[in-house]
Amino acid sequence: MNASCLTHLEALPGGETFPPDAPRNGSDGAVLFARYDLRRVRREVTREAIERGPATLWRYAPLLPVADPAHAVTLGEGYTPLLRTERLGAQVGCRDLWVKDEGRNPSGTFKDRGAAVAVSRYRELGVKTVALNSSGNAGGSWALYCARAGIGCVDILPTDAQASSLSHCASAGARTYFVEDWHASGRIVADACRQYGWFNVCTLKEPYRLEGKKTMGLEIAEQLGWRLPDVVVYPMGGGLGAIAIWKAFYELAELGWTGGKLPRLIVTQYAGCAPAVKAFDEGKLDVEPWTRLDVPPGGLKSPNPPGGRLVLEIIRRHGGAALAVTTEEALDAVAEMARAEGVFACPESATTLAGLRKALARGLVESDERVVLVSTGSGLKSIPVLPQPAVRTIGAAAEIGA
């Protein structure tokens, strides 16, 4: 496997650059992006070599920040199936519909990508303890990867965090705390990191979670034969995943590995926490904090998404939309995905299907366009949120009926 072609970090806006050899948080609202020697990648790596790589996200090692792939902290994350979903497509009126099934990652969500890559890199850089706020899925995932790496993890979670994520945190031995006022959680992590010398890995506070999530975009391209789809629909919380997928598309375009137009981005949010949708509808360049949070337990609980401005910029640049979905619509879509295709997605993921239906109805997507729904997590993480099935107990076959 090839070594990383990472060269430096770039802070945007501003453009200041930093060597990548120490753990670093962005400051003054700037976001740090990892930059690579893409000319070297082009010289030394081919798409065919990548295709022969391991069936994990580590197949993209030259485009990841971990200096030596032997340092990878892995549980077998990434290279998840991209499923052609013809029956579901026919139901919603989309002839070329695909689902990227991120529920197949080790802890059941795409958060494993960010955790695997960032934990690997920070262990390489000597970090002893990381801290983050998370609506649950990232917290559970980081707890497990930190355990695998032998480094400490401090998780700040909302009081309604799902049992599945809490179990990940507790089983893996992460120091786990609830915060009642979720709006204060980011500040609490930042203060704790200053006081106790931990490293802050909250969304977009450091550059490497994004690099892990970037592999979703690399995989979508590779799995479609290095051709990008017309539209990607992504369930947006902090916005990191969408930004990461587009970073992958930009790097692939610069490498000359994909051609043509970049896809349009449609982000979906719950109607009870839709700051990006509101900003998009009002033509604003940045999001404003959402005050009255009303979402089911789980992800998409980001009232002031750190990636809001960047997501809106991607939508402006390449086309797309931000659409709100009710909890009921999301839960219906969970059942629809399972019934039509056997894909058991969490409600956050199913917002993409409900959103696509709206986008088709409004003419934002044509029926013959190639659309990828990013199903960020498994329904197994959200069982208590899903409608409880009514099952009849029987004692004999005759009670079943034909």
Instruction: Out of 151, 300, 322, 325, name the contact with ligand PLP by CB under 6 A.
Output: 300
Say how many residues touch ligand PLP, by CB under 6 A: 18
Angle between helices 208-223 and 240-255 (to 10 degrees): 60
Query: Is 235 a binder of ligand PLP (CB under 6 A)?
Result: yes
Under the binding rule (CB under 6 A), the answer on residue 85 touching ligand PLP is: no
x/- map, 312-351, ligand PLP, by CB under 6 A: ----------------------------------x-x---
Per CB under 6 A, contacts with ligand PLP among 106-135 are 109, 135
Cα–Cα distances in angstroms (integers) from residue 208 to residues 45, 150, 184, 359, in the given order: 22, 18, 24, 32
User: Rounded to an integer, what is the distance from CA 130 to the centroid of its chain?
Assistant: 19
Contacts of 342 (CB under 8 A, 6+ apart): none
Report yes or no: 318 and 262 within 8 Å, Cβ to Cβ: yes
Instruction: Report d(CA 7, CA 35) in Å as an integer.
Output: 6
140 binds ligand PLP (CB under 6 A): no
3-state secondary structure of 106: coil
Which segment (3-11, 13-21, 170-178, 231-239) binds ligand PLP by CB under 6 A?
231-239
Nearer CB in complex with ligand PLP: 45/372: 372
Using the rule CB under 6 A, is 239 a contact of ligand PLP?
yes
Whichever of 237 and 275 has its CB closer to ligand PLP, that residue is 237
Q: Which of 56, 74, 164, 376 binds ligand PLP (CB under 6 A)?
A: 376
Q: What are phi and psi of 359, to 5 degrees?
A: -65, -40
Instruction: Answer yes or no whether residue 237 interacts with ligand PLP by CB under 6 A.
Output: yes
Spell out the residues 6+ positions from residue 32 whose beta carbon is closer than 8 angstroms to its own.
Answer: 9, 10, 11, 18, 24, 25, 26, 206, 207
Give the nearest distance from C-beta 98 to ligand PLP in angstroms.
17
Q: How many CB atoms lie under 10 A from the CB of residue 317?
A: 12
Q: Length of the chain in residues, anyone? A: 402
Q: Does 77 bind ligand PLP (CB under 6 A)?
A: no
Under rule CB under 6 A, residue 185 binds ligand PLP: no
Q: CA 81, CA 97: separation in Å to the nearest integer?
A: 14
Considering the complex, what minimum distance in angstroms separates the CB of residue 325 from ligand PLP?
A: 13
Q: Of the two residues 158 and 377, which places its CB atom closer to ligand PLP in the complex?
A: 377
Query: Site residues (CB under 6 A) for ligand PLP?
Result: 109, 135, 137, 203, 235-241, 299-300, 302, 346, 348, 376-377
